[in-house]
């Protein structure tokens, strides 16, 4: 069975034959955004298709991008949407061969199932992250001077200090269904790229990138207040590597592992941009947050509030 490149012209047939079966709740237009050219790369395809008797029998999506990491350009390939018709499952790995041949790319898979995680580790993938920080809503702090702007093509943030790499990240994600919040304390600036994730109940704010984690942590109350206000949700989720050490009054929870394989890019430099997390609005598969963890957070919040009222906590 041959494996060919998935071009934009093949999308309607691939959707009808495969992607609709992979996730019946997603429309063709919702899927199409991950199989379209966003100007992130030079490759002329969006993944790989397994062909049987001239028809698609399997698909493996691939989002290519080029990014500046540590001052050098690095190539990335985010794998997603892996599906093979049941009668051809024995041939699934054929589509991984061209992906694994990309020796000069950092490969990522952010939505692998437990079985796929085991398989990918045998293929040389390592754990990128396995935990998230959950930041519930806190009372707003008054008196600290910060200026917040909703980044819109650079308007209103001209006097904030951002390096060209951060500016390119924002520019590359303009027009997509994600948001960009910039803030400054007059000395340092930070951009947060995030989305409102409504595919789970209750919806939440999920952070994809933080340009200045130390500044975010310093003003975590104000930052989370703005993020929750803009998304109309009750808590923020950020993967542990994007906010090392977390923030005061945050809860660390286990998630399904995110995987990567890279010749030269450290895990801490890999965020969620240029991936299906942003394009398809797939919430990070963290475990328990929508069931037991919600009760855990509620109880911990009340306990913290009681200790604050009694003067037993500094407030963080």
Q: What is the CATH number of the domain that holds 145?
A: 3.40.630
- Whole-number percent of the chain with pLDDT over 70: 83
68 and 141 inside one domain: no
CA dihedral 131→198→234→150, nearest 10 degrees, is: 100
- Tell me: do 52 and 163 sit in the same domain: no
315 pLDDT more than 50: no
Is residue 50 located within the same domain as residue 169?
no
84 within 8 A of 57, measured Cβ to Cβ: yes
What would the pLDDT profile of 144-186 be if each residue is shown by its tens digit?
667 776 655 444 455 566 788 988 898 899 888 889 888 888 8
The answer to whether 110 and 76 have CB atoms below 8 angstroms apart is no
**Do 79 and 189 fall into the same domain?**
no
Q: Give the whole-number percent of the chain exceeding pLDDT 90.
A: 61
Distance of alpha carbon 280 from alpha carbon 29, whole angstroms = 10
Is 262 domain-assigned? no
**How confident is residue 103, by pLDDT bands cut at 50, 70 and 90?**
very high
215 within domain boundaries: yes
92 and 156 part of one domain? no
**Span 129-146, average pLDDT:** 77
Q: Residue 126 falls within a domain, yes or no?
A: no
User: Do 62 and 194 belong together in one domain?
Assistant: no
Same domain, 305 and 169: yes
Question: Does residue 301 share a domain with residue 161?
Answer: yes
DSSP letter for each residue of the chain: --EEE--GGGHHHHIIIIIHHH-TTS-HHHHHGGGS--SS-S-S-SEEEEEETTEEEEEEEEEEEEEEETTEEEEEEEEEEEEE-GGGGGGGGGGHHHHHT-TTEEEEESS--HHHHHHHHHTT-EEEEEEEEEEE--PPPPS---EEEE-BTTBT-TTS---HHHHHHHHHTTTSS-EEEEEE-SS-EEEEEEEEE-SSSS-EEEEEEES-HHHHHHTHHHHHHHHHHHHT-SEEEEEGGGSTT--TT-EEEEEEEEEEE-SS--GGG--STTSHHHHS-----BSSTTTHHHHHHHHHHHHHHHHHHTT-S---
Q: Is residue 118 domain-resident?
A: no
pLDDT at residue 66, rounded to an integer: 95
Evaluate if residue 102 carries a pLDDT over 90: yes
Please indicate, yes or no, whether residues 301 and 236 belong to a single structural domain of this protein: yes
Instruction: Say if 33 falls within a structural domain.
Output: yes
Calpha distance 292→273 (Å, rounded): 29
- Is the domain of 153 the same as that of 285? yes
Which pLDDT value is given to residue 175? 83
Q: How many residues does the chain have?
A: 316
Alpha-carbon gap, residue 182 to 28, rounded angstroms: 33
pLDDT in tens, 204-263: 999 999 999 999 999 998 899 999 999 999 889 999 999 999 998 888 888 999 999 999
Pair 98, 140 in one domain: no
Whether 202 is covered by a domain: the verdict is yes
Is the residue at 127 inside a domain? Answer: no
The answer to whether residues 75 and 155 belong to one domain is no
* Residue 291 banded pLDDT, cuts 50, 70, 90: very low
Q: Does a structural domain hold residue 273?
A: no
For the chain, what is the domain count?
A: 2
Query: CATH no. for residue 17?
Result: 3.40.630.30
Domain of 209 in residue numbering reads as 133-256+280-309
Q: Which residue has the tokens 């895990």?
A: 267
As a whole number of angstroms, the distance between CA 204 and CA 224 comes to: 12
């Amino acid at each position: 069975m041959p494996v060919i490149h998935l071009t934009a012209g093949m999308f309607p047939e691939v959707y009808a034959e495969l992607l609709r079966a992979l996730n019946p709740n997603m429309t063709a237009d919702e899927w199409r955004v991950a199989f379209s050219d966003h100007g992130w790369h030079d490759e002329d395809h969006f993944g790989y298709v397994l062909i049987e008797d001239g028809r698609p029998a399997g698909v493996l999506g691939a989002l290519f991008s080029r990014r500046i990491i540590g001052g050098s350009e690095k190539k990335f390939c985010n794998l997603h949407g892996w599906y093979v018709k049941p009668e051809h499952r024995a041939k699934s790995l054929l589509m991984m061969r061209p992906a694994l041949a990309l020796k000069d790319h950092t490969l990522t898979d952010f939505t692998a199932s437990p079985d796929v995680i085991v398989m990918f580790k045998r293929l040389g993938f390592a754990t990128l992250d396995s935990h998230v920080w959950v930041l519930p809503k806190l009372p707003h702090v008054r008196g600290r001077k910060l200026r917040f702007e909703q980044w819109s093509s650079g308007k209103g943030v001209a006097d904030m200090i951002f390096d060209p790499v951060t500016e390119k990240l924002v520019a590359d994600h303009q027009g997509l269904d994600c948001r960009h919040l910039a803030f400054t304390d007059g000395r340092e600036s930070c951009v947060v790229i995030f989305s409102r994730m409504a595919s789970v109940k209750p919806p939440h704010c999920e952070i994809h990138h933080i340009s200045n984690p130390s500044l975010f942590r310093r003003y975590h109350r104000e930052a989370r207040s703005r993020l929750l206000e803009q998304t109309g949700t009750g808590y923020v989720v950020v993967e542990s590597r994007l906010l090392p050490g977390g923030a005061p009054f945050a809860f660390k929870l286990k998630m399904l592992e995110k995987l990567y394989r890279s010749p030269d890019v450290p895990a801490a430099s890999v965020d969620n941009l240029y991936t299906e997390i942003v394009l398809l609005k797939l919430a990070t598969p963290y475990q328990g947050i929508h069931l037991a963890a919600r009760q855990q957070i509620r109880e911990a919040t009340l306990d913290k509030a009681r200790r604050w009222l009694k003067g037993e906590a500094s407030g963080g």
